[in-house]
Amino acid sequence: MNPTPTIPDGTPPFWRGRFSVAPMLDWTDRHCRYFHRLLSHNALLYTEMVTTGAILHGRGDYLAYNDEEHPLALQLGGSDPQALAQCAEIAEQRGYDEINLNVGCPSDRVQNGRFGACLMAEAELVADCVDAMRGRVRLPVTVKTRIGIDDQDSYDFLCAFIRTVAERGGCDTFIVHARKAWLSGLSPKENREIPPLDYPRVYQLKRDFPALTIAINGGIKTLEQAQQHLQHLDGVMVGREAYQNPGVLAQVDSQLFGVTAPVPDLFAVVEGMYPYIERELSRGAQLGHITRHMLGLFQGLPGARQWRRFLSENAHRPGADVSVVEQALTRVQRP
């Protein structure tokens, strides 16, 4: 397991969530996380949201991951304190580094299961969920939430939610998506784009709750923006930009964690994926399920379009193997 990173001059270690890649359903699977870890050793990675029902009653192994992915947080979806506590205990036994409760997803399917953003209206239940998990595990238990839901979007409402979950549930770390969520009328995609961002509200939250660890999420596209947020907050979570332009992760360790080692070479990162790809193919994986996470790696470089096209056209063909990636890489011009 990777230790919490330390700045080279020996100053106290950063909270490992100083920079994290957001949990994204259908995107941040274990193939994606392995790839991202080659780009940053210190970024905190999150699983896709996994429901308590899937873990306790599903037929598959929804907690599988690669040892190289640490530090790794499991995001849970659910609202039954005891089921969440049981899942947290299983996750601790499996070696996860953190448990995160989803109180931010606005999709209808999630609402129908009584979890996600709709739980902001039930702060005491969220507190009970966190308290139940903390009572069963020694891992950090964190909450990812929004700044409000529907017409419950005042700063007082947000403060009351945070205070209840912190004081009654014992949660000391919140990742706050700086948009409110509309629980009806907007799709999940629209909920990521239409409600306006309100970064100052999250900054104010940190000023009013200085003892809590507060990270921000939503609309962050560059590490320069991340550095600006870190002047006010403890952490930054980046979602779609990290996925669609993963090359940005190569700069995270040097720019945000003070690491003096050379920045990962993007071509070497691809070549570093070859043993993993061969191993996974030998276990029955399909090449396209791995390479789909790598399509945006060379964004802005000559040949990036040819790289994407070659992989998209060939990785899903029967018998596709690592040679497809090798051939795709020849389409990109080295700097």
Report CA dihedral (152, 154, 159, 162) to the nearest 10 degrees.
30
Q: Which residues share a beta bridge with 99? A: 74, 141
Q: pLDDT value at position 14?
A: 61
- 159 annotated active-site: no
> E strands, the chain, where?
19-21, 44-46, 50-51, 72-77, 98-103, 141-146, 173-177, 213-217, 235-238
Residues 246 and 273 in one domain: no
Q: Would you list which residues are annotated within the binding site?
A: 23-25, 75, 144, 177, 217-219, 239-240
Residues 103 and 244 in one domain: yes
Residues 226 and 145 in one domain: yes
Asked if residue 10 belongs to a domain, the reply is no
Domain coverage including residue 294: 266-330
Residues 87 and 172 in one domain: yes
Residues 248 and 281 in one domain: no
SS3 sequence, 21-89?
Answer: ECCCCCCCCHHHHHHHHHHCCCCEEECCCEEHHHHHHCCCCCCCCCHHHCCEEEEEECCCHHHHHHHHH
Residue 240 maps to which CATH number?
A: 3.20.20.70
Q: pLDDT value at position 186?
A: 84
Q: pLDDT value at position 5?
A: 39
User: Of residues 105, 118, 129, 171, which has the active-site annotation?
Assistant: 105
Q: pLDDT value at position 335?
A: 79
Q: pLDDT value at position 227?
A: 97
Q: Would you list which residues are annotated within the binding site for FMN?
A: 23-25, 75, 144, 177, 217-219, 239-240
Boundary of a domain, candidates 230, 257, 284:
257
Residues 252 and 271 in one domain: no
Residues 316 and 186 in one domain: no
Asked if residue 293 belongs to a domain, the reply is yes
Per-residue pLDDT of the chain in tens (335 residues, 90 and over written 9): 333 433 333 333 467 899 999 999 999 999 999 999 999 999 999 999 999 999 999 999 999 999 999 999 999 999 999 999 999 999 999 999 999 999 999 887 777 778 899 999 999 999 999 999 999 999 999 999 999 999 999 999 999 999 999 999 999 999 999 999 999 888 888 888 889 999 999 999 999 999 999 999 999 999 999 999 999 999 999 999 999 999 999 999 999 999 998 999 999 999 999 999 999 999 999 999 999 999 999 999 999 999 999 999 999 999 999 999 999 999 999 87
Boundary of a domain, candidates 240, 257, 274:
257
The total of structural domains in the chain comes to: 2
Q: Indicate the pTM of the whole model.
A: 0.94
Asked if residue 1 belongs to a domain, the reply is no
Residues 215 and 80 in one domain: yes
The residue type of 65 is: Y
Asked if residue 210 belongs to a domain, the reply is yes
Boundary of a domain, candidates 239, 257, 275:
257
User: In this structure, is the dihedral angle defined by the CA atoms of residues 166, 4, 264 and 46, taken in order, positive or negative?
Assistant: negative
